[in-house]
Structure 1
């Protein structure tokens, strides 16, 4: 393949993978472990497989637990797994003899779905990992090790009008070609018969789908797969060299595209009406900008994606927008509504008598020349993956057009996969989403005790959270901890001083750009000081008001435009973290207490102002949240102890505990529960209210 290697490939050339097999690591592995090692190597390289895509198998000998006899067992990646991150329990295991015996139940293509129902009857050793639809492809081929992958370079060949010719040119007959066939038992039979009729071939290109290849050992199979992908990538890079991608440039990247995306995404999100709100993901990578800014952009985008792996995540085609009309909300609304109508027409044209009901008709992928790619989905992970899969589709189109014409999947075939009854059954088996999935929150003071506990509570129920704090080190530590606990996708951080309007705007813009908008604002950033009035300097007075009154005002003011965009989708919520001291006079704390009182009254004013747009504004008033609090670890602890004439150690905590009516400590997690209630649908009809979380203080009783 060296004749195809070129040093003049464009910047968006296909990556050329190379073997990462470590013989020393593999030397001590069992046959099962070698299969896993090979699978993890393939899956961890995105030039080889997409997330969740591809499958691997090995035919191994094991002992039947019932008879004690040695039997042949097919180990194959199970349904819904990911090659890069799976463990041994991610493989389905099936009696090979029983799998091969299933053919007596097969009468033709109409039996594809029926044949899937027989797979559980072939399970070996009570393995509860479900076998995937591609299991027969691996079972019917008479080879010990089989890989089936669909990397971009391979799909570019498989989705090109000259793909079959290119396959012969690259591999000289060593790799065969089969026309498009939906995955299933019929494809497995056709593949087996094709291989039997063409002895000596080393793999088969499946049009529009991917490549399947085999070898006698795990290492040989892995390196064969890598070599085939490398061959395809080098061939395409050679053909793309020196020619403009997608017909050349029509729209240059906008230097302000990040700011434009921050302003645009919440408006789009507010227009995507449905049962649940969505989360967005923005990308302006080189490949996307090259595509959306090209001469051929509209033509190719309208064709839709080709590989089933792609459009199951992205829908068959994206929504494209005119960058000159983004400021026109009526244009955006009309464009989204027109997309929904087109999708409904597609469903009506293609539905079968037993098709599932039409799903969400909103676009998943939205493309804007000069700006980039925006995707919306139920959660951040799904939105990101949808974007990445459309990025794969862009790569496929670029390669396919370089050697011929890009060929999208036939509309009816696309529908039959999207609304496949087996796919619907899989969707119906998925657990119900957590209550805050699709919601986006911004928590100021996010690295402190109450802020971190609140963020954790929201994340635990599915929300995306941006944590803002001025302490960069503490913020990084908290977010790293949350990333290990909740995954990194739903978490972002912003270094932010709430007294700085520009810093607040940057945090709010980040929330819009990273997640698509805002549903929940928790204004929590705070300080505390204690001094008698004659010892309260003007600087100390202003510092309290700058953080506790101005900071809440500035944060709410910056967030209101984003919150307003959700008026048609159940509204949004602001929660201020107040204080018992906002309601009860405190000794030697006039600056702190009066600033807190100002913030609480601001919340009432905002409740009036936001109601018409569905923005609820409520307050949680904590008291004596000592454990886990950064404020109480500093001078405030000594100052309050001094004000009460007691020791600053354990005696202070005992003082507050005994002072309360319930004689209980108040913890950051207790405040987080109250915030969760006010932020969630449980309080959908409450605004302008205060909840005291203080273990009981009669002086602080509201109303």
Structure 2
């Protein structure tokens, strides 16, 4: 069976659903609802099912409610992400409930109702499902429904649109009392002979239900479809959408260029409290809003739905820049931006001080999450890329809500005190405190040259494992694409970007840095790893060999460092440059005049840049490997043959030869170089610059003097 909807996607597959248990159908329904962002966004909403199961203590049948657990996402929900509770115990908590002042204490009591001891922690929405008698329940945040819920005439519109079949409960923070209000709304309707098919929560979202999974799914889709169709029929009738366009967008390529130029400066300003990762979008829905006449009125109002608000803050920062303004002078741009940021921080401090309670947590980061640039698009900044991206998605939801509410009535946001009570709710604070400690490189962006394979790939992987966003780059497009696919599988698409770059070509390096700026907001950790090796006696060494070595090793390190410093200075957050040099920078050997002298130049350039960039808090250090044989391109192009000839052995004997000559009698692997790089940038050596770490198994001739 299939059904046609214009505003939501029908995704139910009878074959997939066939034979599933009631709980499995609840998971299936949840996943397909969460797959449509018009229905609910990542982490938004909640779903549940009530079943009959055997009580493990008495063996008697009892009703059990399975519900999405705290902090989960219905689109990716699994059974392990759910809470299972005795329904009767949950409802019996009403006997100890003394009023709204007990809301937070009631959440602690949910744990006494747990049926499945491996359950996820129950969420604050648990009683909202528990006090409704239906088997399958969906609580979602569809843009179209919230637009009606956030409209000035929302209750009247809901009554007329659904003929009284959708109830209305005014805004109240989620909790035990709201669950009781939902039950009361249902009972009051039943007393009038009305059988409700759902309830609209003012400014918040939608509840729908049925007694089997499929009917619940269809009921949910039909109610959302009706809301969306009503908005579509009324849109533009009173006045143009968002009051019409005030300005026009720049062409797409110019929007991208402006975003790339501005992102590092914004990132630096947003990171005054903690290091942030950026996201940019110029989605058509964003441009329609930021270019509109209504932007100045609607943006300061903030959002209505708590799920939107928690991820986007009290309101966005709107830039007063012209879309085509010259952004080439970073210091001038920063001087223009600083008063805007100071004003936003002061506004946020006033909001906190005016709304705080005696037991409120300390004020959090006062910087904006959402930054709107008319004619260009929207930036969002958060502690990691996924959170920044999701914040953008939620603010697009908020724009959709404003657009819909303005089309049918007028938009109303949460009062600031209500918003504060959500943002600084002690339960939310407790959830934040339970989050795992950030990894060492969380909030940082790593740019590793030659990371399509070998040592560079190992370094990028180590940095990603330690929490960094990584920008892979290589001059081999095919190898780079393979590496990116591997990293996406390992670390997720949010944490990886890739750029084809030739380190001898300044334009490709600049392009790669721009990709980093657009993807993550800038660059913090740069590893100059791209390299080549040629081993020949002086008379066999050609001018072409010499130029190739110096172009890739020396000029490449110079050009990449130069481009990175431009970005780092825009951010004003400091940074790290790590140069992969070599034991050959300090040890003389036969048949090595070009490679060894180029490595010596790389080493001294590292010291020179450390001296120059110290005032910027940019540290420059080097790692000196030796004989990294496994998975390394250094052995291509005749290097292995050249070194074997120099030592009077065969190529097959090289690995054992290199290991035997070390003090530790160890072979050196790419991961060993990666670990040394992490040691330099991981935080413990934050006051070290101009230094070198030897990773050669111990070669006495290579000891630094």
- TM band (smaller chain): over 0.9
Question: What runs of 5+ residues in structure 1 fail to find an aligned partner?
Answer: 6-13
Equivalent-residue separation in structure 2 for 1:378 and 1:171 (angstroms): 42
Equivalent-residue separation in structure 2 for 1:370 and 1:275 (angstroms): 29
Q: Tell me if structure 2 keeps the 8 A contact 1:566–1:572.
A: no
Q: Tell me if structure 2 keeps the 8 A contact 1:323–1:370.
A: no
Q: Tell me if structure 1 keeps the 8 A contact 2:80–2:119.
A: no
Q: Tell me if structure 2 keeps the 8 A contact 1:64–1:125.
A: no
**Residue 697 (structure 1) shift:** 1.3
Q: Does 1:695 align with 2:686?
A: no
Partner of 2:622: 619
Partner of 2:42: 51
Partner of 2:160: 169
Partner of 1:680: 682
Q: Does 1:254 align with 2:254?
A: no
Partner of 1:140: 131
SS for the counterpart of 1:48 is coil
- Structure 2 residue corresponding to 1:281, chosen from 279, 282, 303: 279
- Structure 2 residue corresponding to 1:116, chosen from 67, 83, 107: 107
Question: How do 1:203-214 and structure 2 match up within 5 A?
Answer: 203-214=198-209
Equivalent-residue separation in structure 2 for 1:587 and 1:234 (angstroms): 79
- Report Cα offsets for 1:208-239 as digits up to 9, x if no partner: 11110110101110111111111111221222
Equivalent-residue separation in structure 2 for 1:107 and 1:652 (angstroms): 79
**Residue 16 (structure 1) shift:** 0.9
SS for the counterpart of 1:230 is helix
Q: Tell me if structure 1 keeps the 8 A contact 2:266–2:571.
A: no
- Report Cα offsets for 1:36-79 as digits up to 9, x if no partner: 11111111211111101111111101111111111100111111
Question: How do 1:512-531 and structure 2 match up within 5 A?
Answer: 512-531=517-536
Q: Tell me if structure 2 keeps the 8 A contact 1:380–1:489.
A: yes
Q: How many residues align?
A: 688
- Structure 2 residue corresponding to 1:452, chosen from 449, 457, 472: 457
- Report Cα offsets for 1:569-607 as digits up to 9, x if no partner: 4x2110000011111123222222211111111111111
Partner of 2:494: 489
SS for the counterpart of 1:475 is helix
**Residue 275 (structure 1) shift:** 4.3
**Residue 360 (structure 1) shift:** 0.9
Q: Tell me if structure 2 keeps the 8 A contact 1:281–1:384.
A: yes
Equivalent-residue separation in structure 1 for 2:339 and 2:91 (angstroms): 54
**Residue 566 (structure 1) shift:** 4.5
Equivalent-residue separation in structure 2 for 1:384 and 1:245 (angstroms): 25
Partner of 2:664: 662
Q: Does 1:79 align with 2:70?
A: yes
Q: Tell me if structure 2 keeps the 8 A contact 1:564–1:615.
A: no
**Residue 170 (structure 1) shift:** 2.4
- Structure 2 residue corresponding to 1:349, chosen from 347, 354, 362: 354
Q: Does 1:358 align with 2:363?
A: yes
**Residue 107 (structure 1) shift:** 2.3
Q: Does 1:610 align with 2:613?
A: yes
Q: Tell me if structure 1 keeps the 8 A contact 2:534–2:637.
A: no
- Structure 1 residue corresponding to 2:56, chosen from 65, 74, 82: 65
- Segment of structure 1 superposing worse, 627-636 or 28-37: 627-636
**Residue 641 (structure 1) shift:** 2.0
Partner of 1:316: 314
Equivalent-residue separation in structure 1 for 2:116 and 2:395 (angstroms): 39
**Residue 514 (structure 1) shift:** 1.1
Normalised TM-score (structure 1):
0.96
Equivalent-residue separation in structure 1 for 2:104 and 2:698 (angstroms): 62
- Structure 2 residue corresponding to 1:637, chosen from 633, 636, 640: 640
Q: Does 1:231 align with 2:233?
A: no
Equivalent-residue separation in structure 2 for 1:635 and 1:30 (angstroms): 63
Stretches (4+) displaced over 4 A? none
Equivalent-residue separation in structure 1 for 2:306 and 2:6 (angstroms): 22
Question: What runs of 5+ residues in structure 2 fail to find an aligned partner?
Answer: none
Partner of 2:30: 39
Partner of 2:561: 556
Q: Tell me if structure 2 keeps the 8 A contact 1:564–1:614.
A: no
Normalised TM-score (structure 2):
0.95
Q: Tell me if structure 2 keeps the 8 A contact 1:582–1:600.
A: yes
**Residue 197 (structure 1) shift:** 0.9
Say what the alpha-carbon RMSD is for the aligned residues. 1.5
**Residue 19 (structure 1) shift:** 2.1
**Residue 241 (structure 1) shift:** 5.3
Partner of 1:291: 289
SS for the counterpart of 1:383 is helix
Q: Tell me if structure 2 keeps the 8 A contact 1:582–1:593.
A: yes
Equivalent-residue separation in structure 2 for 1:458 and 1:615 (angstroms): 18
Is the alpha carbon distance of 1:631 and 1:241 closer, same or farther for their aligned partners in structure 2, counting shifts above 3 Å? farther
Equivalent-residue separation in structure 2 for 1:493 and 1:682 (angstroms): 28
**Residue 273 (structure 1) shift:** 4.5
Question: How do 1:491-506 and structure 2 match up within 5 A?
Answer: 491-506=496-511
Question: How do 1:452-491 and structure 2 match up within 5 A?
Answer: 452-491=457-496
- Structure 2 residue corresponding to 1:178, chosen from 166, 169, 176: 169
SS for the counterpart of 1:366 is strand
Q: Does 1:20 align with 2:11?
A: yes
